[in-house]
């Protein structure tokens, strides 16, 4: 399938998840993250902030646990720069730093900018992914452009409630492959 069809299909599939299952999936993926990722040498983790009303993976579970258990790690969160149409990233200071944008996404209204080269790991939003580590996002390209400016060794960890599909037919060289993708049942690792 192509990205446009997959985007529509997986938005519908995600919407159909019952609330108790959604909560269960979130906790399972959070456990997968802390079991799979070696945080001992990580200094900066970038995470998207979820739209839980749209049943996105609740990254707050990971963010809050990192803050509690790994105080040496700095967290970075994105904001869309309307002038450049790129993601700007800021170190997370706390909830008082946040405001909702036009899409209802919480984002920082101020703070210290995070240099992309300082980021060791990115938790990447997605709707679907394939067995080679390509992903379908929301179609705006924000994360592909952002990931192109990160270090080559930066880990790109996707999160999905669903298994991978065989192949995204219209993936191209501008699409960044994931290092791994976490699902409630297992972790999928992708060789570079």
Q: What percent of the chain has pLDDT over 70?
A: 99
Question: What's the pLDDT at 172?
Answer: 83
CA dihedral 15→19→21→27, nearest 10 degrees, is: 110
Q: How confident is the model at residue 26 (pLDDT cuts 50, 70, 90)?
A: very high
* Mean of the per-residue pLDDT values of the chain: 94
Q: What is the pLDDT of residues 48-90, one digit of tens each?
A: 999 888 899 999 999 999 999 999 999 999 999 889 989 999 9
> What range defines the domain where residue 107 resides?
3-189
Q: Whole-model pTM?
A: 0.95
More confident residue, 82 or 147: 147
Contact between 25 and 161 under an 8 Å Cβ cutoff? The reply is yes
Q: What is the pLDDT of residues 112-133, one digit of tens each?
A: 999 999 999 999 999 999 999 9
Residue 192 confidence (pLDDT) above 90: no
Into how many domains does the chain fold? Answer: 1
CATH of the domain at 82: 3.40.50.10420
């Amino acid at each position: 399938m192509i990205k446009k069809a997959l985007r529509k299909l997986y938005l519908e599939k995600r919407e159909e998840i019952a609330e108790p299952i959604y909560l269960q999936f979130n906790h399972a993926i959070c456990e997968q993250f802390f079991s799979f990722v070696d945080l001992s040498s990580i200094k900066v983790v970038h995470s998207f902030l979820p739209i839980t009303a749209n049943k996105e993976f609740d990254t707050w579970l990971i963010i809050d646990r990192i803050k509690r258990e790994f105080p040496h790690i700095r967290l970075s969160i994105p904001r869309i720069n309307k002038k450049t149409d790129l993601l700007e990233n800021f170190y997370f200071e706390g909830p008082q730093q946040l405001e909702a944008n036009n899409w209802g996404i919480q984002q920082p209204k101020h703070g210290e900018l995070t240099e992309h080269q300082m980021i060791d790991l990115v938790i990447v939003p997605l709707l679907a992914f394939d067995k080679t580590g390509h992903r379908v996002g929301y179609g705006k390209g924000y994360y592909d452009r952002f990931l192109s400016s990160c270090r080559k060794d930066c880990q790109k960890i996707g999160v999905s409630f669903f298994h991978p599909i065989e192949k995204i037919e219209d993936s191209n060289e501008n699409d960044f492959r994931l290092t791994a993708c976490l699902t409630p049942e297992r972790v999928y690792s992708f060789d570079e």
